[in-house]
Structure 1
Amino acid sequence: MMPNESLPARCVAGLPLAIGAIVLLGCRQGPDDQEDAGAAPPQGTSFALLVVDDPELARVIRQWETEWHGQTGFGYQVSELDGEEFAASVDLDADIVICPSYLWGPLAEDGRIVPMPLGLIKDDAGRLSEVFSLLRVREAAWGSRVFAVPFGSPVLICYWRRDIFERLGCQPPETWLEYGALAERLASHGRSGVAKAEAEWYGTIEPLGPGWAGIMLLARAAPYVTHRELFSALFDLETMKPLVAGPPFVQALEELAASAAWGPPEQIQYDPQQVRAAFWQGRAAMAVSWPSAAAEASAPAETMRIGLARLPGSPQVFNFLDDSWEARQEDEQRWVPLLGAAGRAGVVTAGCSWPEAAFQLLLWLSGPELSRQVSTASRNTTLFRRSHLGFPQDWVEEPLGPEVAAEYAALTEETLSGQERLFALRIPGRTQYLDALDRAVRRVQAGQAAPQEALEQAAVEWEEIT
């Protein structure tokens, strides 16, 4: 659907008409949300909408401004900023910000953004109830209030060559130990009969480039550190002492280094997009990334049958309270997603004069119908609503095909509807914390330090940042 085409009647008659109700009635002022009250915007109002670190998303949001104005009488003007400039900015010169999911936490902590009006949540505006629960209840919340409108938040998953696995009698790995053993076996025996013998071939490829090595370490550590009795897996909340030099992180780094030996040397410069591209070039039997219809997808270098699986989990979890490993209980999931590695979310700034109307705009852009046009333009999002399950190919690269796309949609729903999760740091200093983990991974890969030593140095750096 192009922006100059009419939206479905249920969309036209939904949020835009709700905006009209705000104009006539003003914001709700029930007993539970007096703080949410605000003046209704006059006709002709134009919101300043800032998009951070996502040119593709900014481009498509601009295209829908005429449609929004026609339905509501309000407009919006889109501006852009890169992530570093945004994180360093003192004043938010915008009414609305759409940014990486991990960037808005400090804004909520500092009171620079406002929570969503409770009336919108109670009324299920924008059909928020169909957003996958980990995004709606966890990633969009700060403390006890919802601050953000999700635009999609991909989690790292494992691509695997179904054709090669079947030939060798392998199954997708259930644990990171199995993953490492598979990477070695596939590097040694997976190439035979697949492509040109002289081509480069590896057991696996992971995103270990700048800003991603630390993310990959956290993704591997997630099932080891998310204990049911601990609120924080990264810091001791009583002392604020970093926990990243503890046994579960050391084990995760040991396993990462062992697996990395079966990947290409240049993966130390790769992000998830580059990993995915290398996988489609036929260079490896496994890869860690996520699907995207927005990224350029070259035709596969060879005939490939692909499977997708969640990242490995763990039947054991580390308890920092008594410094010991424990078996997970039977009702606990072994697979723990890392949230906030990418993703996009919309927030409303404290300086916005009409916060409820601003949230309505965000809910319109991310709603059931329009999100298939808007969020799919970004490489940093993925499906995030139950209604998206019927259109899985909107969200994946074409070579995956409809069957695997449907598998990915089901996998994403299951992953983002669970209870367990680990956040990839959405606190002030995130870049510096991840840089410290990047350096730890790099030192171990280069043989300059053992995992324990490297993480002890990272913990010292974390204490200095904190």
Structure 2
Amino acid sequence: MRWSVASRLVRLRHPFLALALLACLLGAAAGCSEPVAEAPKPPPTYPGVSLTIGAIGDTAILAGVAAQRGEWTATRKGEIAVATDAARTVENAGDLDVLVFPAQDLGALIDRNLLAVIPNAVVLPEAPAPEGAKPADRKSEASEDREAEGFQYMDVAPAFREQVSKYGSDRYALPIGGSTLILAYRRDAFTAEANVKAAKEQGLSLEPPATWAQLDALARFFQGRDWDGDGTPGFGLAAALGKDAEGVADATFLARAASLGQHRDHYSFLFDADDLAPRVVTPPFVEALKAIAAWKAVGPPGVEAFDVAAARAAFREGKVAMLIDRAEKAAEWSSDKAVAGAPLPGSERVYEPARKTWDAGGSINRPTYLPFGGGWLVGVRRGIADEKRAAAFDLALYVAEADVANRILAERAFPMLSVRASQMGRGLPDPSSARNVDPRSWSGAVSRSLMAERVLPGLRIPDAGGYLTDLSAGRVAAMAGKAPDEALRDVAAAWTARSKTLGVPRQLWHYRRSLNTLATLPEPPARDK
């Protein structure tokens, strides 16, 4: 039969087609034909299932989620209710099936047993069966198993894949978007011929600083100088230094302290991982707070009371040459002049807490500190009824999938950064909103920060917000003139009291667990009665 078909093609004067067919037939006969790719599996369906998704904290993040729900409902045959009526807290989120939340609240949610563990089978495409294996030989880790090609697990930056979304070795959530601080600067201030000449005479190079000491020197250089040629003196640096509801002021302090106090050989940072003793009274934190308090002399009048909105305004209006801010807030920097971005600097020395000495002479210590515990996550409530569980995992996966998350990032109501390596280099999620912000340097700063060798997510233990409120009070006191070491002793006392109220053994378990690397028991100690 095969030969007769080929011979007919030859007689019909299609020699090339006949030869191609003969080659295919011979290949098939020899057993070397190419395998036919399987068609993509259709998504699972959940007819009759209705899920409620809501947010802990700012409900503005739900605008992007709500805009993307139509595809899920159309393909899965289920229903989604978006709880935009009011922001939930950890205490009243029990009515949600799927939760969107800042990673800072991860420990508190786990402490209340509100989150289900997300099995690897949910996020990893099913492994191919060994040759000759029967379908029954392929066992999933969970009944919610599904092909997860759209999630593209390995494209997620390691810090979010293995740290931010995990607590210990268990994954409790999937990352949607991230946050990181970068240095924004006026390009004309760094390139104007008069500035370059004057800086050279002072032994300075007008380029993004590699160390905090270099940043301090640049801020002093620009302070009081007409660096933009408008005929009036300008200022060096704008940063959130006072009370700041957005948390950028605290994150800035902790980012500088991390370069001094997050040793390469240690995982813990804010607390001693053996007894939960606060480390904020140690030399790296004191030195960082002294240095930041000194920024009062290199900013506009009243900078010591600036929140981040005031700092952005000063930069946007052309009053200061440099700004420290969340990268995703680039739309609020826009001006008539070009703005560039760079990663935050590091330190030439780092404190070794066990020996209580400074290590120097190596490479610049430049860990990335991530505010909000790292970014924003989506998880599934623990204890959902069986008929809903698979749908809830599927919805969480859908929200975090590459294409859907990318569309959510473009929503102006709640700016976030991509957590995916392939998307970090594409520039601003919404370039039209950030006029004159250089997308290339911005992308480079974000990529280098989020893909750094060492990334330090912010505090994620129960009542993380309370600990940061204590820290903020001490930091603001130092800006108002209190000695930094005295202000930090007050912070340490407040932290110790807070931990005692919550239960030191249980909080210590959470802190060790939140570091993702230290051994802990499977369950935390019982709460103190």
Work out the CA distance in 1 between the residues paired with 2:228 and 2:265.
Answer: 49
1:337 correspondence with 2:368: yes
Structure 2 counterpart of 1:459: 492
Find the partner of 2:97 among 95, 98, 112.
95
Structure 1 counterpart of 2:401: 367
Q: 1:387 to 1:357 in 2, by over 3 A?
A: farther
Could you list the per-position Cα deviations for residues 53-112 of structure 1 after superposition, in whole angstroms to 9, with x for gaps in the alignment? 3343212322222221111101211114766x504x155210111111211222124422
User: Letter of the aligned partner of 1:432 in structure 2?
Assistant: G
Find the partner of 2:380 among 319, 328, 348.
348
Structure 2 counterpart of 1:66: 70
Work out the CA distance in 1 between the residues paired with 2:428 and 2:228.
Answer: 30
Work out the CA distance in 1 between the residues paired with 2:480 and 2:300.
Answer: 14
1:183 correspondence with 2:219: yes
Deviates more, 1:409-418 or 1:263-272: 263-272
TM (normalized to structure 2)? 0.73
Structure 1 counterpart of 2:459: 425
Name the SS for the 2:378 alignment partner: strand
Equivalent residues of 1:139, 1:339 under 8 A apart: no
Equivalent residues of 1:337, 1:415 under 8 A apart: yes
**Higher relative contact order by CA 8 Å / sep ≥ 6: 1 or 2?**
1
Find the partner of 2:51 among 47, 53, 64.
47
How far does residue 231 in structure 1 lie from its aligned partner after superposition? 2.3
Work out the CA distance in 1 between the residues paired with 2:40 and 2:314.
Answer: 43
Could you list the per-position Cα deviations for residues 120-170 of structure 1 after superposition, in whole angstroms to 9, with x for gaps in the alignment? 233155112111111111111110011111111110000011211122221
Could you list the per-position Cα deviations for residues 184-223 of structure 1 after superposition, in whole angstroms to 9, with x for gaps in the alignment? 221122x34433628xx42111123334332221111111
Residue pairs, 1:94-173, within 5 angstroms: 94-123=96-125, 124-125=148-149, 126-167=151-192, 168-169=195-196, 170-173=206-209
Could you list the per-position Cα deviations for residues 27-58 of structure 1 after superposition, in whole angstroms to 9, with x for gaps in the alignment? xxxxxxxxxxxxxxx41211110123334321
In the alignment of these two chains, the number of paired residues is: 420
How far does residue 275 in structure 1 lie from its aligned partner after superposition? 3.2
User: Letter of the aligned partner of 2:155 in structure 1?
Assistant: E
Equivalent residues of 2:270, 2:279 under 8 A apart: yes
User: Letter of the aligned partner of 1:214 in structure 2?
Assistant: D
Q: 1:159 to 1:92 in 2, by over 3 A?
A: same
Structure 1 counterpart of 2:30: none
1:240 correspondence with 2:276: yes
Work out the CA distance in 1 between the residues paired with 2:442 and 2:217.
Answer: 25
* Identity rate, percent: 26
How far does residue 400 in structure 1 lie from its aligned partner after superposition? 4.8
- Any gaps of 5 or more consecutive residues in structure 1? 1-12, 21-41
Structure 2 counterpart of 1:24: none
Name the SS for the 2:224 alignment partner: helix
Equivalent residues of 2:331, 2:434 under 8 A apart: no
Name the SS for the 1:114 alignment partner: coil
Work out the CA distance in 1 between the residues paired with 2:338 and 2:410.
Answer: 24
Structure 2 counterpart of 1:387: 422
Residue pairs, 1:33-44, within 5 angstroms: 42-44=46-48
Work out the CA distance in 2 between the residues paired with 1:205 and 1:431.
Answer: 25
Name the SS for the 1:352 alignment partner: coil
Work out the CA distance in 1 between the residues paired with 2:339 and 2:441.
Answer: 11
Structure 2 counterpart of 1:36: none
Structure 2 counterpart of 1:26: none
Equivalent residues of 1:337, 1:422 under 8 A apart: yes
Work out the CA distance in 1 between the residues paired with 2:432 and 2:306.
Answer: 19
Work out the CA distance in 1 between the residues paired with 2:86 and 2:285.
Answer: 31
Work out the CA distance in 2 between the residues paired with 1:135 and 1:62.
Answer: 23
User: Letter of the aligned partner of 1:364 in structure 2?
Assistant: Y
Structure 2 counterpart of 1:197: 232
Work out the CA distance in 2 between the residues paired with 1:266 and 1:148.
Answer: 41
Work out the CA distance in 1 between the residues paired with 2:307 and 2:432.
Answer: 17
Equivalent residues of 2:342, 2:444 under 8 A apart: no
How far does residue 397 in structure 1 lie from its aligned partner after superposition? 6.2
Name the SS for the 2:379 alignment partner: strand
Equivalent residues of 2:349, 2:361 under 8 A apart: yes
Considering only CA atoms, is the larger Rg found in Structure 1 or Structure 2? 2
Equivalent residues of 1:310, 1:335 under 8 A apart: no
Q: 1:442 to 1:322 in 2, by over 3 A?
A: same
Q: 1:193 to 1:310 in 2, by over 3 A?
A: closer
Name the SS for the 1:316 alignment partner: strand
Q: 1:194 to 1:55 in 2, by over 3 A?
A: farther
Q: 1:287 to 1:237 in 2, by over 3 A?
A: same
Work out the CA distance in 1 between the residues paired with 2:431 and 2:496.
Answer: 40
TM (normalized to structure 1)? 0.82
Deviates more, 1:261-270 or 1:245-254: 261-270
Equivalent residues of 1:187, 1:202 under 8 A apart: yes
Work out the CA distance in 2 between the residues paired with 1:421 and 1:166.
Answer: 31
User: Letter of the aligned partner of 1:334 in structure 2?
Assistant: N
Work out the CA distance in 2 between the residues paired with 1:286 and 1:197.
Answer: 17
How well do the aligned residues superpose, as a CA RMSD in angstroms?
A: 2.6
Name the SS for the 2:65 alignment partner: helix
Equivalent residues of 2:424, 2:443 under 8 A apart: yes
Equivalent residues of 1:292, 1:395 under 8 A apart: no
- Any gaps of 5 or more consecutive residues in structure 2? 1-38, 126-147, 197-205, 500-529
Equivalent residues of 1:433, 1:462 under 8 A apart: yes
Q: 1:298 to 1:235 in 2, by over 3 A?
A: closer
